[in-house]
Amino acid sequence: MVEQSISTSKRPDLVARNKSKKQRAAVSRKNTTHGMSKHPLYPVWKDIRRRCYCPSRKRWEDYGGRGIGMCKRWRDWFPNFVKDMGLCPSPNHSIDRIDNDWHYEPGNCRWANHSTQALNSRLRTDNTSGVRGISQRKNGQWRAYYSEGGKQIMKDFTSKERAITWRKQHVK
């Protein structure tokens, strides 16, 4: 009779036995569901993960494609996200990154309404002035603009600096 060697790669019980207690706990936790898939923040969390880690998603280029990710604490365990962010204060709020060039993580995320988020958006790719709300016209003048009460307010200036100063005085 030929003795057969037992390969640990074919025997999950032996593989688990050979791992450290910490490694087994991590595997166990990864295979444990949090039971919170019906939580109101679950779709928010899931969508963030998709934007950051699924290249087939529409907006991936604006998130994962720019190197934006989610901290490991949130990415690996939904309850940590809920614990750190708390409930969304109203239907008018959504998650907002304070620094748009940084990751989704505690300290860089908050619940914000649409107008707060609009002021916190990154510059458009066609912005040539490097300053939000300031553009150079074909005639060489600088235009400063902002929105107030649904109307766009704009004014032209001979210098970029004067346009920036005027806009800062009107946008709080």
**Could you report the per-residue pLDDT of 114-148, keeping only the tens digit for each?**
888 877 777 777 777 888 888 888 899 999 988 87
22 Cβ contact partners less than 8 Å away, ≥ 6 residues apart:
none
158-163 contacts at long range (C-beta below 8 A, 24 or more positions apart):
160/129, 160/131, 160/134, 160/136, 163/134
**What average pLDDT score do residues 53-60 get?**
92
What pLDDT does residue 26 have?
54
The band of 23, judged by pLDDT with boundaries at 50, 70 and 90, is low
| Whether residue 71 has pLDDT greater than 50 | yes
Which of 90, 91, 70, 89 is closest to 80 using CA atoms? 70
- Spatial separation of the C-alpha atoms in residues 135 and 141, rounded to whole Å: 9
What pLDDT does residue 91 have?
93
| Whether residue 78 has pLDDT greater than 50 | yes
- Spatial separation of the C-alpha atoms in residues 133 and 163, rounded to whole Å: 9
pTM above 0.75, yes or no: no
